[in-house]
Amino acid sequence: MASSPAGQARLTVNVQDLLDAGLHFGHQTKRWNPKMKRYIFGARNGIYIVDLEKTLECMRTALQFIYETVARGRQVLLVGTKRPAQDPIKTLAERVKMPYVTTRWLGGTLTNNQTIRKSVARMRMLLKMEADGSINDLPKKEISKIRHELEKMKYNLTGIADMEKLPGAVFIMDVGCESNAVNEANRLKIPVVAVVDTNCDPDPIDYPIPGNDDSIRAIQLSLDVVGQVIEQAQAEYSRIAAEEHRKRAAADAKAKAEDEERKAKQAAARKAKADAAKEAVKATKEKEVGEKKPVKKAAKAEVKAEEKPAEAKAVEEQPAAPQG
């Protein structure tokens, strides 16, 4: 709908903020992925320390991508099923009206989205039955079975119920726990943004943000900046949409005015043509009337001329009156 978004994501944190949140703490040196070496500053007390300058740089790139995605009107699926991430992700997703997964990643959430949509449709139908009371018309055993099914559906599907089509991006907290989500997104070429700890493989991630994905404070800070950028992009999208709506309205009004003017000109032309035809008919009739008058006068003259000799002859033929 909207054209290419203009503007930049405003990053409101610095290295000190990342340090205060503990984003620099990685995993133990014996539990690491060598592919993360380029993001590691060093080791302290058997724990790897993440280079926060690189984290900030990667965060800026990732947030800009999220900004551009949302500013185009696309959704970002927020994923975090481990306990420290569940509530913060759900709270953020509900605030910015984005789809989320915080309980269990259902196989096929992305790759078999049509089946997921059918399950969501059934969940909504059951919710409607419960709301209008029609569920109470069923046998008790059937009601119990349906309510059990509904609770399970609500648990697994509530977060993605409004995800009518595939998202423009997936944001993941802890790619180690969410490997299925990463695989499905990669298979469909949906860009993945993720906080990647020192024990994870950053290669499948399009926009890795190296940092601590276990600490509640670190998780909260990462989600805070993502939420701020999403809200900035939504405001930009609304602005662009409003501007395009205004332009379309102006174009529609102009087209309507031009159409009305064209119709008025056509009507005026038809009226002028009709008036001209009437005038031509009137002129023709007047001409015909004018031509008929001399003919009538000539005919009358001929009749009179013929009548005079007849009168004279009748006079001559009358017998002479007797003389006394």
Structural domains in the chain, sorted by start: 15-104+166-248 (3.40.50.10490), 111-162 (1.10.287.610)
- Cβ(26)–Cβ(93) under 8 Å? no
pLDDT at 181: 98
pLDDT at 1: 41
Residue 7 and residue 148: Cα distance in Å, rounded? 48
Question: pTM of the full predicted structure?
Answer: 0.77
Return phi, psi of residue 149, to 5°: -65, -40
Q: Which amino acid is at 71?
A: A
pLDDT at 236: 93
User: What residues have CB less than 8 Å from 26, skipping those under 6 apart?
Assistant: 32, 36, 40, 47, 48, 49, 50, 197, 198, 199, 212
Could you give the C-alpha distances from 138 to 120, 123, 128, 130, in angstroms and in order?
A: 22, 17, 14, 11
- Cβ(124)–Cβ(161) under 8 Å? yes
- Cβ(174)–Cβ(213) under 8 Å? yes
CB atoms within 10 A of CB 75: 22
How would you write the pLDDT of the chain (324 residues) with one tens digit per residue? 444 455 788 888 999 999 999 999 999 999 999 999 999 999 999 999 999 999 999 999 999 999 999 999 999 999 999 999 999 999 999 999 999 999 999 999 999 999 999 999 999 999 999 999 999 999 999 999 999 999 999 999 999 999 999 999 999 999 999 999 999 999 999 999 999 999 999 999 999 999 999 999 999 999 999 999 999 999 999 988 888 878 888 888 888 888 888 898 888 888 888 888 888 888 887 777 776 666 666 666 666 666 666 565 555 666 555 554
pLDDT at 314: 59
Place of tokens 């395009």: 244
Taking CA 61 as the corner, what is the angle to CA 223 and CA 192, rounded to the nearest 5 degrees?
Answer: 65
